[in-house]
Amino acid sequence: MRRTITSIFLAAFLLLAPLTQRAQQSPPPAKPQSTAPAQPTGQAPAGAQDATQKSEQKLTTVVNLVDVLFTVLDRRNKLVPALEKNDFKIFDDKLPQEIRYFSKQTDLPLRIGMLLDTSNSIRDRIKFEQDASINFLFTVLRRNKDEAFVMTFDDEPQVIQGFTGDAGALRDQITKTRAGGGTAIYDAIYDACVKELSHPPRPPGDQPDVVRRVMILISDGDDNLSTHTRSEAIEMAQRTSVVIYTISTSTQWVSLEETDRNKTGDRKFQLTDGDKILQQLAEETGGRAFFPYHVDDLDQSFQDIGDELRNQYSIAYMPTNYVVDGRYHKIRIEVPDHKGYQVRARRGYFAITNPNIPTIQRPSGGTPQ
């Protein structure tokens, strides 16, 4: 009996042993995957972080679009407002370009910088400056639409009245100006473009960025104290799309004989070196230079400027020869089928990725000194 029981246990052991060994060699069953480990308080899961980072990434595309605002005048210096896209041809460094966009920019809100020379050299003409600037503002500035600021400059520039649409407030500050010190014209132009006109107050509406940036510079043109050069001042005005209109305070070009006998017509005798600088500042940026003897000589000119600024054309093109190297490119706009028409526009631009960056990169070609 004992032998029989022993034999049964032995047989059972021999049958079960291979199964037990195979079970020990087999890998354990896979555990169900757990959820992501708990994140520290306030921190999103790793997947969410990746999604957030991707959503925050910005796609930057460089569009080499050059836009030019300009005015067309006939032989009698009267505005020509009814031309169309096919009437114009545009050249970039003498190479013809395709006009991508064309529009008539009428009635744009104005953002005006009034720059007054208060150096010692214009002491005898400070009253003329005050009257000229006040007359301009009351002639051109439209309340609730246009805005202006006033900057004086002698040893250094100073904003004495920030942007406002109140011509009376601007007048009150202008009448307080006094003359004395050196002349830093180029620093004033540079600072006015970078600090004020590069980001002027936005008008309400669907197109808040569409404004006309204008500078009225009243001076004798003789700079003797600036840290910036004339080229840098012109470059910054071009980069920020600022058109400069200059009014000379000099009377040295007037001959006494002409003053006595010539009551009408042009009294100009010979421009001074300072007057030529004022002329260059205006022409390089698409503006005009004025050489009046009396404030009354400017009355019609101010009205013409106001009409001109509100009746302009806009052309945009993508230069075929564009390279982001900071180089200066000359622009020329022609109206080939209308002889005698003249185009007033800025003369060029600098090849950079963002024309509003207030940083000077020296161009290889450069703009005239």
Is the pLDDT at 365 greater than 50? The verdict is: no
Q: Are the C-beta atoms of 215 and 190 separated by less than 8 Å?
A: no
pLDDT at res. 107: 84
Both structure tokens of 307: 């009409």
Q: What is the pLDDT of residues 79-119, one digit of tens each?
A: 999 999 999 999 999 999 999 999 998 888 999 999 999 99
Q: Which residues contact 189 (CB under 8 A, 6 or more apart)?
A: 115, 215, 217, 233, 236, 237, 244, 281
Q: Which residues contact 239 (CB under 8 A, 6 or more apart)?
A: 193, 349, 350, 352, 355, 356, 357, 358
5, amino acid identity: I
User: Are residues 212 and 181 located together in one domain of the fold?
Assistant: yes
The Cα 201–Cα 222 span in angstroms is 31
367 lies in some domain: yes
Q: What is the pLDDT of residues 13-36, one digit of tens each?
A: 444 444 444 444 444 444 444 444
User: Are residues 287 and 330 located together in one domain of the fold?
Assistant: no
Question: What DSSP state is assigned to residue 1?
Answer: -
Q: Which of 257, 277, 309 is the last residue of a domain?
A: 309
User: Are residues 230 and 114 located together in one domain of the fold?
Assistant: yes
User: Are residues 99 and 222 located together in one domain of the fold?
Assistant: no
User: Are residues 293 and 361 located together in one domain of the fold?
Assistant: no
2 lies in some domain: no
Q: Which of 289, 309, 329 is the last residue of a domain?
A: 309
Domain containing residue 66: 62-106+313-369
Which is it for the CA torsion 97, 68, 310, 264, positive or negative? negative
Compute φ and ψ for 187, nearest 5 degrees: -65, -40
265 lies in some domain: yes
Strand 95-97 relative to strand 99-106, pairing: unpaired
Q: What is the pLDDT of residues 115-144, one digit of tens each?
A: 999 999 999 999 999 999 999 999 999 989
Helix extents (H) in the chain = 2-25, 46-56, 126-140, 167-174, 185-191, 230-239, 256-261, 273-285, 299-309
Number of domains in the chain: 2
Q: What is the pLDDT of residues 144-165, one digit of tens each?
A: 999 999 999 999 999 999 999 9
Q: What is the pLDDT of residues 320-337, one digit of tens each?
A: 988 888 888 999 999 999
Q: How far apart are the first and last CA of the chain?
A: 126
Is the pLDDT at 228 greater than 80? The verdict is: yes
User: Are residues 226 and 261 located together in one domain of the fold?
Assistant: yes
User: Are residues 269 and 178 located together in one domain of the fold?
Assistant: yes
The Cα 137–Cα 54 span in angstroms is 50
The Cα 318–Cα 66 span in angstroms is 6
32 lies in some domain: no
> Is 0.85 surpassed by the pTM of this model?
no
User: Are residues 204 and 240 located together in one domain of the fold?
Assistant: yes
Is the pLDDT at 39 greater than 60? The verdict is: no
Best-predicted range by mean pLDDT (18-32, 163-177, 264-278, 349-363)? 163-177
21 lies in some domain: no
Q: Which of 309, 325, 347 is the last residue of a domain?
A: 309
pLDDT at res. 136: 96
pLDDT at res. 207: 59
On the 0-12 / 13-18 / 19+ scale of CB atoms within 10 A, 264 is exposed
> Where is average pLDDT lowest: 78-87, 163-172, 176-185, 297-306?
297-306
**Percent of the chain surpassing pLDDT 90:** 58
Is the pLDDT at 9 greater than 70? The verdict is: no
Q: Averaged over 216-230, what is the pLDDT?
A: 96
pLDDT band, very low/low/confident/very high, at 363 (cuts 50, 70, 90): very low
User: Are residues 268 and 304 located together in one domain of the fold?
Assistant: yes
CATH number, domain of 170, equals 3.40.50.410
Q: What is the pLDDT of residues 41-51, one digit of tens each?
A: 444 455 545 55
Instruction: Concatenate the DSSP letters of all residues of 83-120 into one string.
Output: --GGG-EEEETTEEE-EEEEEEEESPPEEEEEEEE-SG
For residues 223, 224, 229, 234, the Cα torsion angle rounded to the nearest 10 degrees is: -10
345 lies in some domain: yes
35 lies in some domain: no
Q: Averaged over 285-300, what is the pLDDT?
A: 91
Is the pLDDT at 190 greater than 60? The verdict is: yes
User: Are residues 283 and 234 located together in one domain of the fold?
Assistant: yes
43 lies in some domain: no
93, amino acid identity: D
pLDDT at res. 95: 95
User: Are residues 279 and 362 located together in one domain of the fold?
Assistant: no
User: Are residues 83 and 126 located together in one domain of the fold?
Assistant: no
